[in-house]
Amino acid sequence: MNGAESLVRTLLASGIDTCFANPGTSEMHFVAALDSHTQMRCVLGLFEGVVTGAADGYFRMADKPAATLLHLGPGLANGLANLHNAKKARSGIVNVVGEHATYHLQHDAPLTSDIAAVAKPMSDWVRIAASAATLANDTALAVQAARTPPGRIATLIFPADAAWGEAVGAPESGAAPLAPVARSAVGADAIRSAVTMLRSGEPAALLLGGIGVRERSLELAGRIAAATGCGLVAEYNTPRLRRGAGTVHTDRIPNSVEGALGLLSKYRHLILVGAAVPVAFFATPGKPSVLVPEGCKVTRLAAVGYDIDAALEQLAGELGARTQAPARIAERRSGGLPLGKVTSESVARVLEELLPDDAVVVDEAVTSGRVFHGLTAGAAPHDWLNAMGGSIGFCMPVAVGAAIACPGRKIVALEGDGSGMYTLQALWSMAREQLNVVVVVFANRAYKILKAEMTRMGGSRPGGSADAVLTLDRPDLDWVSLARGHGVEAGRAEDMDTFIREFRRGLAASGPYLIELVI
């Protein structure tokens, strides 16, 4: 048994059965080992940003890591932007990255680079396997690292001679899985402090993030709100928020500094539950970075890696809230659909009306999608996934991973035309795997968020340099052709009537479908 074989067997023994891959020559022994293990599902991405984004989406929906297979430093580099997003989302991923044979490194061959240095900024854990003999154990360590709550980016670099060398001493079925690290229990002090705030008589809110916006946490938070009258607020971006009719509602912190401070100014106490202290996405001259209103006290019930559900259970117990009935979102579907001119509000109405039960929405509609979140809460119950790291090119790759993790659910990818262009190769993986994804591309033909920013600063000259780097027209991108080029069926809509027809068509399709919605 060679090292590559021991690597694959250890991944399988550790419960990793999905590998998003973009291999090269230095990973061929690993690919050969995969070939004889049909339990490992291999999904090819034609660009590494697709591979790492898919692993992020997979973790969010499967609650376990996938492996990625990446080719040397440049291959890993191409995957970094979506690893950045995954790291900020606290997704667990095991990156398996090939390296030159150890004795070849000194010769500075063309593809030589410092892979560990490339990995570090976007990884929580990095290791270079020393030899074939240690590779199985290194793999078990990588999986354990990736599974460490709330989830970590583990990057295992394996030199080619570790892959092809004899795995002396490695067990036949791979190294034994290492015991997973459990989520830490919240201390009594943290519970007490939250109780004190909630009983202070002053307005308080739970600020929820991480797994604190999943169904069970929301349920518990809703009971606490019913018992104490506290507010429920969710971070602006969350990795996987449960929403829709029958779910407990949270107010989303607005993206703007003014909006965030406006919402939070209602409260004198903020209790962090898997959330961070809210901060501005970017600094703006004369505006604060930290978005906690003056005089509002902040306490932390549970950091993002802690046992959030148990903490909320305990808190509910202390407050006598366990049997309270939480307020729930009412269903808002009426059958009436807006026709005519395309507006963001009309699109939101259609989403609320037509979103199928238990859909997964991946949201990167940037400018066009600002209002969607607020206007679609009454849809059928669904999960809503945001980019946590702010790096665009997140949506379609994450949709790939979510679809692989949840074959029975419909994935709705809300994509901007600017952001979609970073990782459009995800469309091909959707086509090859016949994934259950509807992609809606909002074609405003500009980096509209940047144009808004520029307008605030005093605008740019028509035809000037600023205009040249902020518009996506001349020529217009043709997303229907782009989709078909990748093997994905597609249609274009320029009015709501057509959009509704196209969206229904996409929802009914068994494979992927893309709609270019001109807005």
- Of residues 202 through 261, those in contact with its own copies by CB under 8 A are 237
Q: Which residues in 93-112 contact its own copies (CB under 8 A)?
A: 100-101, 103-104, 107-111
Q: State which of positions 113-172 bind its own copies (CB under 8 A).
A: 113-114, 117-118, 120-122, 160-161, 164
Minimum gap (Å) between residue 361 Cβ and its own copies: 19
Q: Does 489 help bind its own copies (rule: CB under 8 A)?
A: no
Binding mask 401-420 for its own copies (x = CB under 8 A): -----------------x--
Among 201, 285, 336, 340, interactor with its own copies by CB under 8 A: 285
Closest by Cα among 70, 153, 53 to 400:
53
* Residues written for the chain: 519
CA angle, residues 228, 233, 237, in degrees to nearest 5: 160
Query: What is the C-alpha to C-alpha distance for residues 516 and 18, in angstroms, rounded to an integer?
Result: 31
Q: Is residue 425 within the footprint of its own copies (CB under 8 A)?
A: yes
**Nearest Cα residue to 76 out of 28, 30, 23:** 23
Closer to its own copies by CB, 17 or 215: give it.
17
Which residue, 35 or 202, is less far from its own copies as judged by CB? 35
| Distance from C-alpha of 372 to C-alpha of 378, rounded to nearest angstrom | 11
User: In what helix (H) or strand (E) does residue 67 lie, and over which residues does it extend?
Assistant: strand 66-70
Check residue 268 for interaction with its own copies (CB under 8 A).
no
Answer whether 248's CB lies under 8 Å from 327's CB: yes
Residue of 234, 426, 449, 500 interacting with its own copies (CB under 8 A):
449
The answer to whether 327 touches 226, Cβ cutoff 8 Å, is: yes
Spatial CA neighbour of 41 closest among 53, 27, 55, 24: 55
Which of the residues 24 through 43 are near its own copies (CB under 8 A)? 24-26, 28-29, 31-32, 34-38, 40, 42-43
Q: Does 282 bind its own copies (CB under 8 A)?
A: yes
CB of 435 vs its own copies, minimal distance in Å = 13
Single residue of 466, 495, 497, 509 touching its own copies by CB under 8 A: 466
**Which listed residue (391, 416, 441, 491) binds its own copies by CB under 8 A?**
391
DSSP-assigned states of every residue in 127-178: EE---HHHHHHHHHHHHHHHHSTT--EEEEEEEHHHHHSB-TT--TT-SPPP
Contacting residues for 221 by C-beta, under 8 A, at least 6 apart: 206, 208, 212, 232, 248, 250, 273, 312, 326
Among 227, 487, 494, 497, binds its own copies (CB under 8 A): 487
Q: Write the binding mask 302 to 321 for its own copies: x where contact by CB under 8 A, - elsewhere.
A: --------------------
SS3 category, 389: coil
Q: Count the residues of the shown chain that bind its own copies, applying the rule CB under 8 A.
A: 108
Task: Please report whether residue 469 would count as binding its own copies according to CB under 8 A.
Answer: yes
